[in-house]
């Protein structure tokens, strides 16, 4: 439920609404706006009608929010949310580029790639220390050592770090080293992980599950926001379909759909979305044309030797070409790099 306050409502009126919600066992989330304040009410399971709030002082309107998600919805928060990842703003006028290896393999490998992508204009460094691998025999990541390597790469390049947290047991350690916690496609509905990541207060890059509907995707983000953490960046990374020429089908139509329903920023990962390096550049261009707030691309200086996702890794030179090709598209959609 969303309670829209009158323009003339006082802070005491807003407090009155919050107190009324709390008496009913609900959570109230005041959202100050330029013209007026709204108060989002969560925790109600349909039993509370608008009557409980309509008569309170300063209340203009009580709206039932039709979607099962609230905090992530545009009705609740009309302005775009901007998430700061170590000072880099995601969701504003800039289009951000998150680049780096699939996995942290060694200090030398990560430092080399971090410097290459920084030199070509990347905004944030990605790289997994804990890797979700289909096979238990595949490289699983370096764990905490990988996190330390990422921290060293940040120190060398000043690029804030985005890295995946796979397990609730690792949330604290990953949050200690990272600027942004990535929750991978396979964990999009790991609700305990979402809650624990939400509680850290760190920004969360939430990847869409490979068979998740838009509603399920937004409800997963809702778990993080419900912990009082507004810093969620959504990420489209391809969904499972019947195609046999890509690893996944990059669902770019989700970008305008998210923009309509939610205030959260959304970035696109054409690396996992296609699984093939030659498709990463065209789909990066398309992502930005579709209105994405950024892209996530995997880069490796020796793709043939990469311990994971080599076939989709761009070389540093290909990444430079990508940066050159997206610039005019960024400008054409009225944004900046
Ligand atoms: C990744 O970004 O390295 C990754 C494993 O992605 P996803 O969860 O989208 O498969
Ligand atoms: Mn990968």
Model-level pTM?
0.86
pLDDT of residue 45: 63
State the DSSP string of 39-75.
Answer: EEEES--S---THHHHTSTTEEEEE---SS--TTBTT
Q: How far is the CA of 185 from the centre of ligand 1 (A)?
A: 6
| Pocket of ligand 1 contains residue 208 by CB under 6 Å | no
pLDDT of residue 50: 78
Which string of b and e fits 104-129 if b means at least 16 CB within 10 Å? Answer: bbebebbbbbbbbbbebbbbbbbbbb
Residue owning the nearest CA to atom 10 of ligand 1: 185
- First vs last C-alpha separation in the chain: 38
Phi, psi of 15 (to 5 degrees): -60, -35
Low-confidence ranges of the chain (pLDDT < 70): 45-48
Fold agreement between 2-63 and 83-332: no
pLDDT of residue 42: 87
| Pocket of ligand 1 contains residue 237 by CB under 6 Å | yes
- Let me know if domain 2-63 sits in CATH 3.40.50.170: no
pLDDT of residue 60: 95
Q: Which residue ranges make up each domain of the chain?
A: 2-63, 83-332
| Pocket of ligand 1 contains residue 29 by CB under 6 Å | no
Q: Which fold has domain 83-332?
A: TIM Barrel (3.20.20)
Please say whether the beta carbons of 80 and 56 come within 8 A.
no
């Amino acid at each position: 439920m969303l309670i829209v306050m009158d323009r003339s409502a006082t802070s005491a009126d807003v407090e009155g609404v919050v107190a009324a919600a709390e008496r009913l066992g609900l959570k109230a989330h005041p959202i100050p706006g330029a013209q007026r304040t709204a108060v989002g009410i969560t925790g109600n399971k349909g039993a509370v009608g608008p009557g409980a709030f309509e008569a309170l002082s300063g209340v203009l309107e009580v709206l039932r929010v039709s979607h099962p998600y609230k905090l992530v919805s545009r009705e609740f928060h009309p302005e775009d949310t901007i998430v700061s990842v170590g000072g880099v703003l995601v969701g504003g006028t800039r289009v951000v580029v998150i680049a780096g290896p699939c996995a942290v393999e060694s200090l030398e490998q990560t430092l080399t790639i971090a410097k290459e992508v920084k030199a070509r204009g990347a905004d944030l460094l990605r790289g997994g220390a804990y890797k979700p691998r289909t096979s238990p025999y595949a490289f699983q990541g370096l764990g905490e050592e990988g996190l330390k390597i990422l921290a060293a790469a940040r120190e060398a390049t000043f690029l804030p770090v985005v890295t995946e947290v796979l397990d609730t047991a690792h949330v604290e350690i990953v949050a200690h080293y990272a600027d942004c916690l990535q929750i991978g496609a396979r964990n999009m509905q790991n609700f305990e992980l979402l809650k624990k990541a939400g509680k850290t207060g760190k920004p969360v890059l939430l990847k869409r599950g490979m068979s998740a509907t838009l509603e399920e995707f937004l409800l997963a983000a809702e778990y993080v926001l419900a912990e009082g953490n507004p810093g969620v960046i959504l990420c489209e990374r391809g969904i499972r379909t019947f195609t046999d020429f890509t690893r996944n089908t990059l669902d770019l139509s989700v970008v305008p759909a998210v923009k309509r329903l939610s205030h959260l920023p959304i970035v696109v990962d054409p690396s996992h979305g296609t699984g093939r390096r030659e498709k990463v550049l065209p789909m990066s261009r398309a992502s930005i044309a579709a209105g994405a707030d950024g892209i996530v691309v995997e880069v490796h200086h020796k793709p043939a030797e990469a311990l994971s996702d080599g076939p989709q890794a761009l070389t540093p030179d290909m990444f430079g070409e990508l940066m050159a090709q997206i610039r005019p598209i960024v400008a054409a959609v009225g944004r900046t790099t």
